[in-house]
Amino acid sequence: MDSVLALHRFHFAFTITFHYIFAQLSMGLALLIFVLKTLALRTGRDHYNHAARFWIKIFAVSFAIGVVTGIPMEFQFGTNWAPFSKAAGGVIGQTLAMEGVFSFFLESTFLGLLLFGENRLGPRAHWATSLLMFFGTWLSGFFIVATDAWMQHPVGYTLQANGQAALQSLWSLLLNPWLGWMYAHNMLGTVLTGSITMASVGAFYLLMRKFEDYGRTFVRVGVIAGAIAAILMLFPTGDQQGANIARHQPATLAAMEGLFETQQGAPLAILGQPDTEKRRLDNPAVVPRMLSFLTYKRWSAEVKGLDAFPKESVPDNVPLLFYSYHIMVGLGTIFIAVLLVSAWLLRAGRLYTTRSWLWVLMLSLPFPFIANTAGWITAELGRQPWLIYGVMRTSEGPSFNVSAGNTLFTLIGFMGMYTLLAILFLFITHREIDHGPEVVRTPNGVPGAESRLL
Amino acid sequence: METLWFCLVAIMIAGYVALDGFDIGTGILHFWVGRTESQRRRVLKSIGPVWDGNEVWLIAGGGVLYFAFPALYASSFSGFYLPLMIVLWLLIGRGVAIEFRNHLDSEVWRPFFDFVFTAASALLAIFYGAALGNVVRGVPLGDSGYFFLPLWTNFGVGADAGILDWFTILVGLLAFLTLTQHGALWLALKTEDILQERAQRAARLAWFGVLAMTIVVTAATMRIQPQVWANLTAHPWGFVFPALALAGLAGAILFRDPSTELKAFLSSCLYIVGMLTSAAFGVFPYVLPANTDPKFGLTVWNSAAGHYGLAVGLAWWIPGMALVVAYTVFAYRHFAGKVRLEEEGY
């Protein structure tokens, strides 16, 4: 692969992957904070307000990193993908600009109030602030998924003589048939991240035998929300997203599933290693006929393999696509199992005391992040070799006026900077978790004053 | 329609500079006005609730620029690759410094973050000015509509000029002084006693610099970009923009008494808006002039998006920005008045 192209791709992939770690946590927690504030309002128990305040603090740190790593994403469309921006800006510029105008202003205004306005606003207005924050972050997610959905399945535009896409219908762009299921699936993924994070911190408190009251609340809320999200991710959202891919991107489906040959009654590969040299799946573990059934609801249906498509229109990295997709699905299945067992233990009243299972919950923390990342890699690698599916190839998109050396330089710069950000994030959240939910710090002898700025 | 969007983008950029400008200026003066820990906390508290919202103007303005003028966005962002990446890193460092400073309550971390905050603020001001200077001077656009500029070459303004040449450095210095004054007037508005005195002294000192640099940069601009004078003489109503800037500059010194601190700050806003709109008016219809051959320059017409997109954009931009103005007014009123440390929050 051309090195300018490869570097621009990795530049964007690295920065967006890092950004999305924090974006998914913020969006997931925004919903759960709203849930905690609702519980506080309905039960009148201050316990839930303390719990909400604790997560608002974690949310704020995650949100701050999300903001500072989000600005480079918008810039990179222009800096690293200039020909693409020129071609597509008339369409996807709309959704990106709408995100700024409709979501970011809302979020930045209400974050301050959410963090520090509790006393001044009173319980109802503070609850409403948490609702607005939830709405703002999820609206932001909508505009970004709408942007990606257009690249996956371009609608509502015309191609002008100068090669630029011109928007023809804003409604088609916002009601893209690709968008609904992808958005639902993606947002459930963020809920899963938030829920498992919350349950994991709760399990940590119970295992440490400190802040156990809060530990129980975190585990309970996390397990219930997580179990609902995990099931809905599989069905209907994941299933329907798969149906969209089968209908509109059949070559992608073949690559995701590692299906090299077209066949009737195609098997579903659970494990395996795509061997692109020999064009087969090495060491496969398959369920016969399952892929045909899942895709077309008929056991003997024909599923097109990679051999059915010209080489220049199949994804360029089949192994990574195959692994990402299988990691996502595999982890999703494990989440359902773990969370259903947890929910059953919760119902039986044994979850808080079953220490071995609390260990499982605590250690599950990194996996939803991995699953969400793998899901996005599946979506974006699956779109290859297209930048805009069927319209513009990825090889036509990067800024050729920015040389490979410059791109590598800034990529390394981002890697260094983001490593520092990650360390800071872990350090600060670790301290917050260590201090626990009830602490009111009075730094520098300023009585009752919250020390943080945001 | 293209011209209308040109005006709207100019307004959003001017809004960004007027708003984020004061918290950048506050950053520049952070050490000068805040000598002790409690003073520095007051300095930071004066921008704490609003700086993030101010920065959203950059993101939203960038987004609007992207959808209204995609060819301009593509050409300028890739051409200014390195300086933009540096701006991004400065924005990241600055944001992290403000947000995390008080999370890490220690004698080593706090001064470190204070330094990052100040250094990033100062460099951002200079880079923003230099960026504006580049747009006014023009860039080596060719047939392809793309270019790539090195950070500097021989500091001349000719066809092989870099990002930094004598002209763009002058504009950078003007921006630095302007935002210093802007931040000083904001701090004077938001603080009391010794902090307010220091801020007002800084504002007065900066004012003389701004005055001198305004004259120098204006003269240099007339020499380098003939389009500016040609536009002004062809459409004399355009003199209203420089007049706004002059009125703002006059106001910033006339309202120097503490009792008119709000008027002084608003005058500084007016100066910034006047200068930026003057520049926008001066280069119109170019959005990115070429210093090679004028015919390669990007104009509002050859870089704009399709008509439907621009029209439908207006349909959401107007209600969207009405909401933004409402939030902004709400936030500034909610946090109005002098900052004190004992209050809840910032």
Q: Tens digits of per-residue pLDDT, B68-99?
A: 999 999 999 999 999 999 999 999 999 999 98
Range of the domain at A325: 3-247+321-445
Reply yes or no on whether the pLDDT at B313 is more than 80.
Answer: yes
- Residue B170 forms part of a structural domain: yes
Cβ contacts of residue A415 below 8 Å, gap of 6+?
A14
Q: Which residues pair with A392 in a beta bridge?
A: A388
B105 touching chain A per CB within 8 A = yes
Query: Per-residue pLDDT averaged across B21-45, rounded?
Result: 93
Give the count of domains, chain A: 1
Query: What is the structure's pLDDT at A442?
Result: 40
Q: What is the mean pLDDT of residues A267-272?
A: 93
Instruction: Find, among B228, B232, B229, B264, the residue nearest to B249 by Cα.
Output: B264
Residue B343 lies in a domain: no
Which CATH number fits the domain that encloses residue B80? 1.20.1630.10
Residue B148 lies in a domain: yes
CB B10 within 8 A of CB B276: yes
Once rounded to an integer, what is the mean pLDDT over residues A274-285? Answer: 91
Of B10, B98, B16, B95, the C-alpha closest to A70 is B95
The per-residue pLDDT for range A167-180, each reduced to its tens digit, is 999 999 999 999 99
CB contact under 8 A, B81 and A449: no
**Does B59 contact A at CB distance below 8 Å?**
yes
- Whether A155 is covered by a domain: the verdict is yes
Nearest-Cα residue of chain A relative to residue B325: A105
Cα–Cα distance for residue pair B246/B52, rounded to 1 Å: 30
Residue B174 resides in a domain = yes
Helix axes A118-152, A82-98, angle to 10 degrees: 140
pLDDT of residue A326: 96
For residue B134, what is the DSSP state?
Answer: H
**Average per-residue pLDDT in chain A?**
93
Q: In terms of CA atoms, which chain B residue is nearest residue A170?
A: B312
- Residue-wise pLDDT for A78-123, tens only, equals 999 999 999 999 999 999 999 999 999 999 989 988 988 888 889 9
Domain for residue B345, yes or no?
no
% of chain A exceeding 70 in pLDDT: 96
In A402-424, which positions are buried (b, 16+ CB within 10 angstroms) versus exposed (e)?
beeebbeebbeebeebbeebeeb
- Distant-in-sequence, close-in-space partners of B154: CB < 8 Å, separation ≥ 6: B160, B165
- C-beta separation of A424 from B100 below 8 A: yes
Report pLDDT digits (tens) over A309-367.
999 999 999 999 999 999 999 999 999 999 999 999 999 999 999 999 999 999 999 99
Is A174 domain-assigned? yes
> Does this complex have an ipTM over 0.85?
yes
Q: What is the pLDDT of residue A34?
A: 98
pLDDT of residue A445: 34
Total domains in chain B come to 1
Token output for B4:
């209308």
Q: How far apart are CA B210 and CA B226, in angstroms?
A: 23
Asked if B82 has any chain A CB less than 8 Å from its own CB, the reply is yes
> What value, to the nearest 5°, has the Cα angle with vertex A348 and ends A342 and A353?
70
β-strand pairing of B286-288 with A386-388: unpaired
Residue A268 lies in a domain: no
Pick from B13, B99, B106, B312 the residue to mutate for testing the A interface (most A CBs within 10 Å): B99
Residue type at B50 in one-letter notation: V
How far apart (Å, rounded) are the C-alpha atoms in residues B284 and B279? 9
In which band, very low, low, confident or very high, does the pLDDT at B345 lie, cut at 50, 70 and 90? very low
pTM comes to 0.93
- Token reading at A273: 């290693």
Per-residue pLDDT at B158: 79
Element (H, E) at B299: strand B298-299
Q: Quick check: is B215 in a domain?
A: yes
pLDDT at A137: 97
Name every residue whose Cβ is closer than 8 Å to that of residue B234 and which is 6 or more positions away in sequence. none
Does the CB of A135 have a partner CB in chain B at under 8 Å? Answer: no
pLDDT at A384: 93
**Residue A164 to residue B78, Cβ atoms within 8 A:** no
Domain that holds residue B92: 2-334
Specify if A223 maps to a domain: yes
Please give the average per-residue pLDDT across A204-218, as a whole number.
Answer: 96
- The average pLDDT across A248-256 equals 95
Asked if residue B175 is part of any domain, the answer here is: yes
Give the Cα separation of A120 and A92 in Å (integer).
Answer: 40
